[in-house]
């Protein structure tokens, strides 16, 4: 049986159609960003590596040394306005390098948002430290007002993840960290190219990571990066990613070495990835500009809707425009809106790209590769409880929002369709907040 609101939404859409505003014949869906910009630039980078027969970043045959990854690091640091950048194999690897650089280990606690990606949790656990969840706010990022009550004398790091292109409220997070002598790790995996009050995300905390995997702004399929202004953190990350060693090029960049060797792993990027990422990095501002322009067209087209509630954006000018999220009073209203949008062939979804970590079964069970894992062997580790009870506000927020994902290559017709569908479905499908 069709309920009244659904009926009104459908009627509104029909009225739109009568005005010539017809529903799309095929569903509108955002594609991956970086790969849509692949052209002869990426191709040439790959050809260079093949022709030089130099797939390994540190040495190879030929008269000139391999320089793709090294050049990517130099240009990435410049773009992110940091002194150092380290290229690695993934964002997950980058998080592990950052934990090692920050010397996080057993007995330490790291505060992270309840809504983010698995790797944030696993990097903390694999370091032997204890993850402590904080709630998100209506930006979908960590709620600065919930951080302080999670701080203990063991807290070493706040993991501030800028999710889905939306920067965290760094002006509120940094003073809390400074007050308690805690370091800030910015996770920019989902926000490569975003900024906060004029500063690139990743340039404000002590150390930052990025993902360059397929779903991110620029990509080589897989890839990651670590940036920092601190030569000690840079050396720690570099050593960890390269089985404890500190290569001559990085030592030169850092102006000498300051850290003794320690046990590390191998997260080195290869020259093929470095070349593709170099070509992609040089297009980053174009990709971000295109996405922002499309998002702006949608925001402009709906801003006069009565009672419009958008996801909170601490710096609307700095976000990537990856998703236009609308808030509702209840999950039922949100779902009715999503149904009406589906009827118009413009798909909306609940917040995506992250997971509600505390309710993951393996996290609730505190399951690790070995039963004596240090994270959960201490009194504090044994007593900490995860599960839905530690993040009720996060669950409530995620239940009440839905959004349209934006593609930088959407046409004007596409963004007009999004605007038309929202304008038809929003007032009818909801009693907004």
Distance between CA atoms of residues 84 and 61, nearest Å: 27
Tokens encoding 176:
């809390």
The DSSP bridge pattern shows strands 207-211 and 224-228 to be antiparallel
Q: Counting contacts by CB under 6 A, is residue 91 touching ligand PLP?
A: yes
We find the least distance from the C-beta atom of residue 30 to ligand PLP, in angstroms, to be: 16
Nearer to ligand PLP, 322 or 404 (CB): 322
CA distance linking residue 95 with residue 174, whole number of Å: 19
Q: Is 97 a binder of ligand PLP (CB under 6 A)? A: no
Closest CB 2 distance from ligand PLP, rounded Å? 38
Closest CB 224 distance from ligand PLP, rounded Å = 5
Q: Check residue 408 for interaction with ligand PLP (CB under 6 A).
A: no
Query: Is residue 224 involved in binding ligand PLP (CB under 6 A)?
Result: yes
157 in Cβ contact with 111 (< 8 Å): yes
Shortest approach of ligand PLP to residue 352 CB, angstroms?
A: 10
HEC secondary structure over 262-314 = CCCCECECCHHHHHHHHHHHCCHHHHHHHHHHHHHHHHHHHCCCCCCCECCCC
**Tokens 């499908």 appear where?**
429
Min dist CB 211 to ligand PLP, Å, is: 3
Among the residues of 19-152, which ranges form H helices?
Answer: 40-52, 68-79, 91-101, 118-126, 144-147
Q: Rule CB under 6 A: choose which of 190, 195, 219, 280 binds ligand PLP.
A: 190
- Cβ proximity to ligand PLP: between 12 and 119 the closer is 119
Among 12, 90, 228, 238, binds ligand PLP (CB under 6 A): 90
* Total of residues contacting ligand PLP (CB under 6 A): 16
Closest CA to 269 of 219, 309, 322, 314: 219
Given a contact cutoff of 8 angstroms between Cβ atoms, the answer to whether 185 and 208 are in contact is yes
Angle between helices 271-281 and 68-79 (to 10 degrees): 30
270 in contact with ligand PLP (CB under 6 A): no
**Which of 120, 233, 348, 406 lies at the binding interface for ligand PLP (CB under 6 A)?**
120
Residues 108 and 154 sit within 8 Å (Cβ to Cβ): yes
Q: Which range, of 39-47, 63-71, 90-98, 174-182, touches ligand PLP by CB under 6 A?
A: 90-98
The stretch among 147-155, 187-195, 199-207, 409-417 that binds ligand PLP (CB under 6 A) is 187-195
CB 182 within 8 A of CB 156: yes
92 binds ligand PLP (CB under 6 A): yes
The residue to which tokens 């995860």 are assigned: 386
Stretch that binds ligand PLP, among 15-23, 66-74, 84-92, 320-328 (CB under 6 A): 84-92
Catalytic residues: 216
CA angle 319, 219, 31 (to 5 degrees): 70
Which residue is at the shortest CB distance from ligand PLP? 91
DSSP secondary structure string, 152-211?
Answer: -TTEEEEEEE-GGG----HHHHHHHHHHHT-EEEEE-TT-TT-EETTEETTSSSSEEEEE
Q: Could you tell me the smallest distance in angstroms from the CB atom of residue 56 to ligand PLP?
A: 21
Does position 122 interact with ligand PLP (CB under 6 A)? The reply is no
User: Which residues within the stretch 350-379 sit at the binding site for ligand PLP (CB under 6 A)?
Assistant: 353
- Which span (4-12, 114-122, 178-186, 303-311) binds ligand PLP, by CB under 6 A? 114-122
Please state, as a whole number, how many other Cβ atoms lie within 10 Å of the Cβ of residue 58.
16
228 and 237 in contact (C-beta within 8 Å)? yes
Q: Which of 169, 186, 187, 417 binds ligand PLP (CB under 6 A)?
A: 187
Instruction: Pick from 12, 82, 96, 119 the residue near ligand PLP by CB under 6 A.
Output: 119
Establish if 213 lies at the interface with ligand PLP (CB under 6 A). Answer: yes
Angstrom distance (rounded) from CA 59 to CA 49: 12
Write down the least CB distance from residue 153 to ligand PLP, Å. Answer: 27
Does 96 sit near ligand PLP (CB under 6 A)? no
Residue 220 beta carbon to ligand PLP: minimum distance, rounded to whole angstroms: 11
**Which of 127/344 has CB closer to ligand PLP?**
127
Residue with tokens 């409530």: 396
Interface ranges with ligand PLP (CB under 6 A): 90-92, 95, 116-117, 119-120, 161, 187, 189-190, 211, 213, 224, 353
């Amino acid at each position: 049986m069709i309920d009244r609101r659904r009926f009104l939404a459908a009627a509104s859409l029909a009225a739109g159609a009568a005005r010539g505003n017809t529903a799309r014949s095929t569903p509108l869906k955002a594609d991956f960003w970086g790969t849509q910009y692949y052209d002869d630039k990426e191709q040439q980078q790959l050809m260079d590596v093949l022709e030089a027969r130099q797939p390994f970043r540190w040495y190879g045959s030929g008269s000139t040394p391999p320089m793709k990854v090294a050049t990517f690091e130099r240009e990435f640091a410049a773009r992110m306005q940091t002194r150092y950048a380290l290229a690695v194999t993934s964002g997950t690897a980058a998080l592990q390098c950052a934990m090692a650089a920050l010397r996080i280990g057993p007995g330490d606690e790291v505060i992270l948002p309840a809504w983010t990606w698995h790797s944030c949790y696993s990097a903390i656990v694999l370091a032997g430290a204890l993850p402590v969840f904080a709630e998100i706010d209506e930006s979908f990022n960590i709620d600065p007002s919930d951080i302080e009550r999670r701080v203990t004398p063991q807290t070493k790091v706040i993991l501030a993840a800028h999710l889905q292109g939306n920067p965290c409220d760094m002006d509120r997070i940094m003073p809390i960290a400074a007050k308690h002598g805690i370091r800030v790790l910015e996770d920019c995996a989902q926000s490569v190219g975003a900024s906060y009050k004029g500063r690139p995300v990743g340039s404000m905390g002590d150390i930052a990571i990025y993902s360059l995997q397929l779903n991110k702004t620029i990509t080589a399929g897989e890839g990651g990066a670590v940036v920092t202004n601190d030569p000690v953190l840079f050396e720690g990350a570099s050593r960890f990613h390269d089985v404890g060693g500190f290569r001559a090029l990085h030592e030169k960049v850092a102006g000498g070495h300051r850290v003794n060797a320690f046990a590390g792993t191998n997260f080195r990027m290869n020259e093929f990835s470095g070349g593709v990422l170099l070509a992609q990095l040089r297009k980053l501002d174009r990709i971000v500009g295109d996405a922002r322009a499309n998002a702006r067209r949608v925001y402009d087209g709906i801003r006069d809707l009565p009672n419009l509630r958008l996801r909170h954006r601490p710096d609307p000018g700095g976000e990537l425009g990856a998703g236009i999220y609308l808030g509702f009073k209840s999950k039922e209203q949100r779902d009715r809106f999503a149904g009406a949008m589906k009827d118009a062939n413009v798909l909306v979804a609940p917040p995506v790209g992250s997971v509600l970590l505390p309710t993951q079964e393996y996290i609730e069970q505190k399951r690790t590769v070995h039963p004596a894992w240090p994270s959960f062997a201490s009194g504090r580790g044994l007593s900490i409880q995860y599960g839905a009870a530690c993040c009720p506000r996060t669950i409530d927020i995620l239940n009440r929002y839905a959004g349209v994902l934006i593609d930088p290559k959407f046409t004007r017709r596409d963004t007009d369709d999004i605007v038309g569908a929202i304008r038809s479905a929003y007032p009818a499908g909801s009693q907004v907040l």
